[in-house]
């Protein structure tokens, strides 16, 4: 008998599950006892070597996430087993049992059911969404680094499948100048949004409505944006003005949006500034950094000059347009107009003047260049003449400007001071 008790005790204390219960009792200063008779196979109770116990352990190991509890087991046993500690057939003192039940009751007050455990679909969906958002963010960052419009549109358009995803993509694009601090990318933002809206005409209205919601959301939270970007009002006003100048919205849009956000003073001030900029586009220079979009880049200027000269020498308008668009510099399109006017004046040839004038009007008709950039380019050209930066008579470029005026869609205000 002594040998039997000794062997049983040895087996009991070798069992990691029993050790876990002993450790719990020790840490909580509780009395822990067990009945040796219940540990023998002959007692009819489950023991470490009992086949019934073994089969239960096998059942439990099939699905560690969903432990299967015997209905005949006590509530305390179920709780213990669910925590990975088997409800061994041992007697516990009342204090231990009560404390152990309390310890387990936090998570398992009720019977465990299959419905309490997720099948993992929610986790997978969360992972998929997070991965998609990361790809979108990376594609937008690549665009603003390279200003390559076509690859960005091709990648981002595949994510515009539902309203929620459209909102995420448009929001990331619109807030880029505020987040990055790069205030010279208004036109790049506008160009990308226009391309995404026109990518699928059947979804144009739906996407435009989502874009308006994005703009409203930024305006309604303009105070929070001012914490990260102190010039948030000026920056976003310039961006809204750029949307109107590029033809993304009508001028009346700013009045409408102003009425919607009028309850927030900073938001209303932002829309008022945007309206002022649309009336005097040169005001945008006060918001942009000195190198933020109105100063030509030497290498880009050389490329534009070469393309225009090749066009005059024999290339077709379509070939020239493709080469100019391939430069992927949407915010420097005013430089195309400037260099076309300069080349026309230098050549002082009617054929050259007609070719260059037709090139600009064709690009305008195909929405590859806007009135805003035509006006900026022409005004820069005449200002440089007035400031004697270029030694050319205004009469020498009159024919080029007249061709632009012949296009009825180009407003007279765009070039009214170009005389």
Q: Return the structure tokens found at 419.
A: 């005389």
Q: Cβ(270)–Cβ(263) under 8 Å?
A: no
pLDDT-derived band of residue 300, with 50, 70 and 90 as boundaries?
Answer: confident
Close Cβ partners of 205 (under 8 Å, ≥ 6 residues apart): none
| 215 pLDDT higher than 60 | yes
Do 129 and 164 meet the contact criterion of CB atoms below 8 Å apart?
no
User: Which residues of 42-198 form beta strands (DSSP E)?
Assistant: none
Inform me whether the pLDDT recorded for 196 exceeds 90: yes
CB-CB contact of 6 with 14 (8 Å): no
Q: Name all domains of the chain by residue range, CATH numbers in brackets.
A: 2-109 (no CATH), 127-287 (1.25.40.180), 298-415 (1.25.40.180)
Q: How many residues are given for the chain? A: 419
Q: Can you give the pLDDT at residue 8?
A: 47
CB atoms within 10 A of CB 181: 12
Q: Tell me, what's the pLDDT at 88?
A: 42
16: pLDDT strictly greater than 50: yes
Listed ranges 236-240, 282-286, 401-405; the one with the highest mean pLDDT: 236-240
Highest mean pLDDT among 18-32, 77-91, 280-294: 18-32
Token digits of residue 342:
């300069």
Confidence of residue 200 (pLDDT cuts 50, 70, 90): confident
Q: How far is it, in rounded angstroms, from Cα 415 to Cα 379?
A: 8
pLDDT of residue 173: 94
Would the pLDDT of 227 be above 90?
Answer: no
Please tell me the distance from the alpha carbon of residue 80 to that of residue 167, in angstroms, as a whole number: 48
Task: Report d(CA 344, CA 187) in Å as an integer.
Answer: 27
Give the mean pLDDT of 109-115: 51
Q: How far apart are CA 283 and CA 277, in angstroms?
A: 6
Q: What is the mean pLDDT of the chain?
A: 74
Tokens of 417: 């001071």
pLDDT-derived band of residue 416, with 50, 70 and 90 as boundaries?
A: low
Q: At what angle do helices 186-198 and 204-220 cross, to 10 degrees?
A: 150
Neighbours of 337 (CB within 10 A): 27
Note the pLDDT tens digit of each residue in 352-401: 989 999 999 999 888 888 887 888 888 888 888 887 788 887 777 778 88
What pTM was computed for the model? 0.47
């Amino acid at each position: 008998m002594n040998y039997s008790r000794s062997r049983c005790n040895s087996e009991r204390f070798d069992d990691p599950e029993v050790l876990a219960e002993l450790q719990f009792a020790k840490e909580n200063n509780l009395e822990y006892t067990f009945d040796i008779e219940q540990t023998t196979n002959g007692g009819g109770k489950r023991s470490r070597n009992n086949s019934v116990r073994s089969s239960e352990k096998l059942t439990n190991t099939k699905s560690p996430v969903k432990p299967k509890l015997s209905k005949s087991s006590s509530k305390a046993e179920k709780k213990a087993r669910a925590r990975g500690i088997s409800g061994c057939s041992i007697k516990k003192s009342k204090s231990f049992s009560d404390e152990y039940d309390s310890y387990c009751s936090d998570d398992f007050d009720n019977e465990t059911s299959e419905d309490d455990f997720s099948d993992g679909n929610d986790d997978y969906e969360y992972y998929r969404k997070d991965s998609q958002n990361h790809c979108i963010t990376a594609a937008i960052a690549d665009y603003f680094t390279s200003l390559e419009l076509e690859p960005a549109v091709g990648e981002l358009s595949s994510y515009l499948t539902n309203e929620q995803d459209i909102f995420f993509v448009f929001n990331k694009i619109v807030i880029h100048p505020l987040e990055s601090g790069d205030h010279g990318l208004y036109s790049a933002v506008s160009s990308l949004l226009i391309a995404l809206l026109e990518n699928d005409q059947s979804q144009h209205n739906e996407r435009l409505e989502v874009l308006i919601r994005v703009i409203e959301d930024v305006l309604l939270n303009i105070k929070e944006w001012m914490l990260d970007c102190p010039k948030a009002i000026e920056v976003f006003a310039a961006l809204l003005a750029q949307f109107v100048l590029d033809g993304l919205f009508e001028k009346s849009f700013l009045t409408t949006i102003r009425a919607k956000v009028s309850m927030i003073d900073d938001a209303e001030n932002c829309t008022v500034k945007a309206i002022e900029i649309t009336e005097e586009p040169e005001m945008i220079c006060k918001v942009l950094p000195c190198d933020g979009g109105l100063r030509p880049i030497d290498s880009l200027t050389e490329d534009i000059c070469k393309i225009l000269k090749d066009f005059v020498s024999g290339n077709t308008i379509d070939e020239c347009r493709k080469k100019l668009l391939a430069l992927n510099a949407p915010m420097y399109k005013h430089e195309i107009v400037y260099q076309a006017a300069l080349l026309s004046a230098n050549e002082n040839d009617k054929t050259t003047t007609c070719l260059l004038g037709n090139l600009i009007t064709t690009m305008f008709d195909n929405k590859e260049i806007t009135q805003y950039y035509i006006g900026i380019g022409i005004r820069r050209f005449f200002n440089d003449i007035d400031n004697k930066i270029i030694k050319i008579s205004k009469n020498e470029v009159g024919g080029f400007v007249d061709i632009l005026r012949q296009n009825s869609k180009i407003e007279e205000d765009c070039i009214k001071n170009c005389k």
